[in-house]
Amino acid sequence: MKHRYLPMTEQDKQEMLGAIGVSSAEELFNDIPESVRFQGEYDIKAAKSEPALMKELSRLAAKNADLKNYASFLGAGVYDHYAPVIVDHVLSRSEFYTAYTPYQPEISQGELQAIFEYQTMICELTGMDVANSSMYDGGTALAEAAMLASGQTRRKKILISGTVHPESREVVKTYAKGQRVEVIEIPHKDGVTDLAALRELANDDIAGVIVQYPNFFGRIEPLKEMEEIIHGIKSMFIVSSNPLALGALTSPGALGADIVTGDAQPFGIPAAFGGPHCGYFAVTNKLVRKVPGRLVGQTVDENGKRGFVLTLQAREQHIRRDKATSNICSNQALNALAASVAMTALGKKGVKEMAVQNIQKAHYAKKAIMAKGVEVIFDGPSFNEFVIKLPAPFSEVNKNLFEKGMIGGFDLGTVYPELKDHMLVAVTELRTKEEIDALAQELGDQHE
């Protein structure tokens, strides 16, 4: 068998089998009992040459309507943002993408330092003391936060706002089932967490309270008021945040959060049909030894030179085994690198400017759509998303938009039955005035 990934020649093979002392490769598999030996070859598609496979997969990809060719107003946790071109150039350095976890620091300083810088940037945006080197995604990061809160407070109930991303809520519930933690939802009122309901549900059995900022409907939650209630019952205040929004919004850390998580996808990470993205996880100093996942720390070498290592590993599964509080091993390091490069390229000014562009464009879109007579519900301070009541069935509207080159927003009726035929519209900095006006026009036409 000749293949470009397999360098062993027939001569190599004979020499090596000779050195091993066997006459055939088959002999090396004699320890596999005959009855479980797989005979023959897998019944899978035959190999294709590089050009033939490129052609086939390129055509398969072209069957999908992509965000580069359609104007997308779809967000709901995954956004179409400006990704500086340089991000992919850095990511394509194979010293990064073909490396394993940096367990050998002497030959992994590049990765370790990049992640140390990433941790710093996440701390800066969230206003927290410590950030880990990444989690799978925003949903599982949030679930780990809930489990941390339960372990830390030794309480078995979590409150989660109904305005948290529906899929994150589901993931939290699955993890909670594992740890036998009860999850109770706080209803929302007009698109933000109902504070009266929170007060009613708050008691000293509650390990942590989870809120999303900005929330699933795009609204800014009243974190200040919530913080008082939550810390009043000595519970953990857990905030899930779009990190881009924090370029313009007061950080959760400054508003008293104990744990801040989210997904760094808005920073240079493609939508990629939902993954891989990059969960982030940030805490106060008090919780540093309870953080799940890998942490990079600064130290010195034998000559006193600054260097970086994976540290506080006694928390992790490979040391603590069944006593570990999280089982995470592989994380999303390469995407943390992507986020890091994007945050670096945007920098101090760009992150703020981009966040403000989102606010302004979404605001403009909201007004433009309202001007066409379409109702905006849950109207109030928001980031880059808002909710509209459609003048026609969702699927019909969405189909019409698609025919005009647009990908419509999220169908809220699929997760909030009371919001049938309501659309969550996302407007990022990439949407032009022309595209926004076209959306408003189309929605207005449906109205008439």
Partner 1 sequence: MNNQDQSLIFEISTSGRIGYSLPEMDVATIPLEEILPADYIREEEAKLPEVSELDIMRHYTALSKRNHGVDSGFYPLGSCTMKYNPKINENVARFNGFAHIHPYQDPATVQGALGLLFDLQEHLTEITGMDQVTLQPAAGAHGEWTGLMMIRAFHEANGDTERTKVIVPDSAHGTNPASATVAGLETITVKSDENGLVDLEDLKRVVGPDTAALMLTNPNTLGLFEENILEMAQLVHDAGGKLYYDGANLNAVLSKARPGDMGFDVVHLNLHKTFTGPHGGGGPGSGPVGVKSDLIPYLPKPLIVKQGEQFVLDYDRPQSIGRVKPYYGNFGINVRAYTYIRSMGPDGLKAVTENAVINANYMMRKLEPYFDLPYNRHCKHEFVLSGRRQKKLGVRTLDIAKRLLDFGYHPPTIYFPLNVEEGMMIEPTETESKETLDAFIDAMIQIAKEAEETPEVVQEAPHTTVIKRLDETLAARKPILRYQA
From 30-38, 182-190, 198-206, 229-237, give the range in contact with partner 1 by CB under 8 A: 30-38
For residue 102 the two structure tokens come to 């940096």
- CA dihedral in degrees (408, 70, 360, 210; nearest 10)? 50
Options 312, 370, 376, 377; binder of partner 1; rule CB under 8 A? 312
Q: Which residues, 35 to 54, sit near partner 1 by CB under 8 A?
A: 35-38, 40-48, 50, 53-54
Tell me the C-alpha distance between 315 and 403, whole Å: 53
Closest to partner 1 by CB, 149 or 171: 171
The answer to whether residue 61 forms part of the interface with partner 1 (CB under 8 A) is yes
**Which tokens hold the place of 427?**
């407007």
Q: Which residue has the tokens 């994380």?
A: 331
The CA-based dihedral angle spanning residues 341, 263, 355, 128, taken in that order and rounded to the nearest 10 degrees: -90
Q: Give the nearest distance from C-beta 327 to partner 1 in angstroms.
A: 4
439 scored as a contact of partner 1 (CB under 8 A): no
Q: Which of 183, 351, 397, 406 binds partner 1 (CB under 8 A)?
A: 351
Closest CB to partner 1 among residues 7, 448:
7
Does 299 help bind partner 1 (rule: CB under 8 A)? yes
Q: How many Cβ atoms from other residues are within 10 Å of residue 444's Cβ?
A: 16
Closer to partner 1 by CB, 13 or 234: give it. 13
Residue 201 or 435 having the CB closest to partner 1: 435
With CB under 8 A as the contact rule, which of the stretches 67-75, 195-203, 229-237, 369-377 interacts with partner 1? Answer: 67-75
Stretch that binds partner 1, among 149-157, 200-208, 234-242, 331-339 (CB under 8 A): 331-339
Choose the stretch contacting partner 1; rule: CB under 8 A; options: 55-63, 149-157, 192-200, 233-241: 55-63
Q: Name the DSSP class of 303.
A: T
> What is the separation, in whole angstroms, between the first and last Cα of the chain?
67
Distance CA 425, CA 217 (A): 9
Q: What angle do CA 98, 102, 106 make, to 5 degrees?
A: 110
- Asked if 286 interacts with partner 1 (CB under 8 A), we say no
Say whether residue 446 binds partner 1 (CB under 8 A).
Answer: no
Residue 9 phi, psi dihedral angles, 5° rounding: -90, 170
Q: Is residue 167 a contact residue for partner 1 (CB under 8 A)?
A: yes
The tokens of 76 are what? 């709901």
Q: Does 271 bind partner 1 (CB under 8 A)?
A: yes
DSSP string, 190-230: TTEE-HHHHHHH--TTEEEEEEEES-TTSBPP-HHHHHHHH
Q: Where are the beta strands (DSSP E) in 40-93?
A: 71-72
Indicate whether 210 belongs to the interface with partner 1 (CB under 8 A). no
> Which lies closer to partner 1 via its Cβ, residue 108 or residue 163?
108
220 binds partner 1 (CB under 8 A): yes
**CA–CA separation, 113 and 118 (whole Å):** 9
Tell me which residues in 122-141 interact with partner 1 (CB under 8 A): 123-125, 129-131, 133-134, 136-140
Q: Is 364 in the site for partner 1 (CB under 8 A)?
A: yes
Burial of 399 (0-12, 13-18, 19+ CB in 10 A): exposed
Is there binding between residue 413 and partner 1 (CB under 8 A)? Answer: no
Task: Considering only the stretches 94-102, 186-194, 371-379, 439-447, report the one whose residues sit in contact with partner 1 under the rule CB under 8 A.
Answer: 94-102
Q: Using an 8 Å Cβ cutoff, are 156 and 178 in contact?
A: no
- Enter the tokens of residue 12: 């190599």
For position 23 contacting partner 1 by CB under 8 A, the verdict is no
Kindly indicate which of the ranges 109-117, 188-196, 203-211, 229-237 contains the residues binding partner 1, using the contact rule CB under 8 A. 109-117
Cα 398 from chain centre: 26
Is 204 or 361 the residue whose CB approaches partner 1 more closely?
A: 361
Token output for 403: 């025919």
Q: Are 292 and 326 in contact (CB under 8 A)?
A: yes
Helix (H) or strand (E) holding 280: strand 279-283
Stretch touching partner 1 by CB under 8 A, among 113-121, 155-163, 193-201, 226-234: 113-121
Q: Which stretch binds partner 1 (CB under 8 A): 155-163, 183-191, 227-235, 344-352?
A: 344-352
Q: Is 402 in the site for partner 1 (CB under 8 A)?
A: yes
Q: Could you tell me whether strands 206-213 and 236-241 are parallel, antiparallel, or unpaired per DSSP bridges? A: parallel
Q: How many residues bind partner 1 (CB under 8 A)?
A: 209
What CA–CA distance (Å, rounded) separates 220 from 182?
26
Question: What is the closest distance, in whole angstroms, from the C-beta atom of residue 162 to partner 1 in the complex?
Answer: 16
Tell me if 251 contacts partner 1 by CB under 8 A. Answer: yes
86: DSSP letter: H
Q: Residue 189 or 363: which CB sits closer to partner 1?
A: 363
Under rule CB under 8 A, residue 224 binds partner 1: yes
- Which of 184, 319, 371, 445 binds partner 1 (CB under 8 A)? It is 319
